[in-house]
Amino acid sequence: MENSFSEILKDFLIENNLMQVEFAKKIGVKQSQVSEWLKGKAKPGYDILKSMALAFNVSADYFLGITDNY
């Protein structure tokens, strides 16, 4: 079964021992935006997804659920 973006992000934060505020600061968004993503109420756009991949040296494919590996 394919994981939703919110599940992928939640797992990423847990596995990397990151708080929402730390993650948000590193990618240049507000913590409230990360909270919306985790609740499944919103998803990041292209520019933010790119920032996430670059900031954490993780393939965008991971955050998109295409691959299980960072």
Helix axes 20-27, 31-39, angle to 10 degrees: 110
Mean per-residue pLDDT for 13-34?
98
Domain extents in the chain: 5-64
Please give the structure tokens belonging to residue 63: 């955050």
Confidence (pTM): 0.92
- The DSSP letter of residue 58 is -
**pLDDT at res. 2:** 67
- 10 Å CB burial of residue 22 (0-12, 13-18, 19+) is middle
Please give the structure tokens belonging to residue 42: 């919103």
Instruction: Answer whether residue 1 shows pLDDT above 70.
Output: no
Instruction: Answer whether residue 17 shows pLDDT above 50.
Output: yes
Mean predicted lDDT score pLDDT of the chain: 95
What does CATH list as the number for 5-64?
A: 1.10.260.40
